[in-house]
């Protein structure tokens, strides 16, 4: 079994993006800018947001950090997004999810113009992805595809199984794999015969959010196993895959931490630069 080292590849990509960010700055006389909005006090979200702003600065992208309290109203949040949408120094807007329960996520995200939607969550960007045409693509699934590509793992003609159907990972992941000519099955909480379906996968993507969910009996000999889960067990980070048993069967495996997580942030930086370049050209 080989480890797919997302941390190392993400570091290489960030170095490439730094050069691209410098080129942007010297061409346009200002930095590419990303606004990150955190609403409420979810501790995991606070850590993700801090990492995103830190990595932006390191890559030569200007970051604008905003926090609203957990009881912020829909109108307050929308007004802030409208302001950022009109700001010429802000090329990308990211609203960290999940939102506090009283806020309407769909309505809030609709205030992000699709040109600044660096998460690829807008209806326009998801529609473009579904049609197979280039668009801003959600960072985590984009990071999965990039990691596979960097390791020379081909997707075309392969059987791919995605466990999870979220807007952030499962759905865009399935569409990207389909666009790359895989035969794709999406499994979820109501799927019957999950283990049997997973055992057919040449490429198995776990995006469930449950520690040790994927066990060796769900994995075909020689499969590529991508672990998108970030779970905390006894204070320790772990993914959705039961590493101890699955490592005996998989040909390639992504670790947690150090696998897909760093790739997600690298793709966010890339999406921001691409958005900035499109807006300036």
Catalytic residues: 52, 96, 119
Stretch that binds ligand GUN, among 13-21, 89-97, 149-157, 170-178 (CB under 6 A): 89-97
State the nearest-atom distance from the C-beta of 264 to ligand GUN, in Å. Answer: 6
State the nearest-atom distance from the C-beta of 138 to ligand GUN, in Å. Answer: 6
Query: 97, 216, 237, 243: which one contacts ligand GUN (CB under 6 A)?
Result: 97
The interface with ligand GUN within residues 140-199 (CB under 6 A) comprises: 140, 168
CA distance 140 to 268: 9
CA distance 264 to 252: 19
Q: Which is nearer to ligand GUN, 27 or 50 (CB)?
A: 50
Pairing mode, strands 203-206 and 159-163: parallel
CB-closest chain residue to ligand GUN: 97
Q: Which is nearer to ligand GUN, 38 or 250 (CB)?
A: 38
The interface with ligand GUN within residues 208-267 (CB under 6 A) comprises: 264
Q: Which is nearer to ligand GUN, 198 or 256 (CB)?
A: 256
DSSP character at residue 111: T
Q: Which is nearer to ligand GUN, 56 or 201 (CB)?
A: 56
State the nearest-atom distance from the C-beta of 120 to ligand GUN, in Å. Answer: 9
CA distance 47 to 113: 26
Query: 53, 63, 96, 271: which one contacts ligand GUN (CB under 6 A)?
Result: 96
Contacts of 96 (CB under 8 A, 6+ apart): 36, 37, 38, 39, 45, 48, 49
| Distance, C-alpha 141 to centroid of its chain | 5
Which helix H or strand E contains 23, and what residues bound it?
helix 6-28
Q: Which is nearer to ligand GUN, 67 or 185 (CB)?
A: 67
> Which residue do the tokens 């905390």 mark?
232
Q: Which is nearer to ligand GUN, 187 or 228 (CB)?
A: 228
| Interface with ligand GUN, residue 95, by CB under 6 A | yes
Q: How many residues bind ligand GUN (CB under 6 A)?
A: 9
Stretch that binds ligand GUN, among 18-26, 56-64, 91-99, 148-156 (CB under 6 A): 91-99
> What would the two tokens of residue 48 be?
């993700």
The region that residue 39 occupies, defined by phi over 0 for left and psi between -120 and 50 for alpha, beta otherwise, is beta
Contacts of 3 (CB under 8 A, 6+ apart): 252, 253, 254, 255
- The SS3 assignment for 94 reads strand
CA distance 36 to 210: 27
State the nearest-atom distance from the C-beta of 196 to ligand GUN, in Å. Answer: 30
The interface with ligand GUN within residues 112-141 (CB under 6 A) comprises: 119, 139-140
Q: What are phi and psi of 214, to 5 degrees?
A: -90, 115
**Binding interface with ligand GUN (CB under 6 A):** 94-97, 119, 139-140, 168, 264
């Amino acid at each position: 079994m080989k480890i797919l080292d997302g941390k190392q590849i993400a570091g290489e990509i960030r170095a490439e993006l730094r050069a691209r960010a410098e080129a942007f700055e010297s061409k346009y006389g200002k930095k590419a800018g990303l606004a990150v909005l955190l609403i409420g006090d979810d501790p995991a979200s606070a850590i993700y947001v801090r990492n995103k702003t830190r990595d932006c600065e390191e890559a030569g992208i200007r970051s604008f950090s905003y926090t609203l309290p957990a009881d912020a109203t829909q109108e307050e949040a929308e007004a802030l997004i409208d302001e950022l949408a009109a700001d010429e120094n802000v090329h990308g807007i990211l609203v960290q999810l999940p939102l506090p329960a009283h806020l309407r996520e769909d309505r809030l995200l609709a205030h992000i113009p699709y040109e600044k939607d660096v998460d690829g969550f807008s209806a326009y960007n998801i529609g473009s992805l579904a049609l197979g045409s280039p668009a801003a693509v959600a960072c985590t699934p984009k990071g999965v595809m990039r990691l596979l590509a960097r390791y020379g793992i081909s997707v075309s003609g392969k059987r791919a199984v995605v466990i999870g159907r979220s807007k952030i990972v499962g759905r865009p992941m399935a569409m990207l794999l389909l666009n790359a000519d895989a035969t794709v099955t999406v499994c979820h909480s109501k799927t019957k015969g999950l283990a049997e379906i997973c055992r057919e996968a040449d490429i198995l993507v776990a995006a469930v959010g449950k520690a040790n969910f994927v066990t060796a009996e769900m994995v075909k000999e020689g499969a590529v196993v991508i672990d998108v889960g970030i779970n905390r067990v006894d204070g320790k980070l772990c993914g959705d895959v039961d590493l101890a048993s699955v490592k005996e069967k998989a040909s390639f495996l992504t670790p947690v931490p150090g696998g897909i997580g760093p790739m997600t942030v690298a793709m966010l930086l890339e999406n921001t630069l691409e958005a900035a370049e499109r807006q300036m050209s």
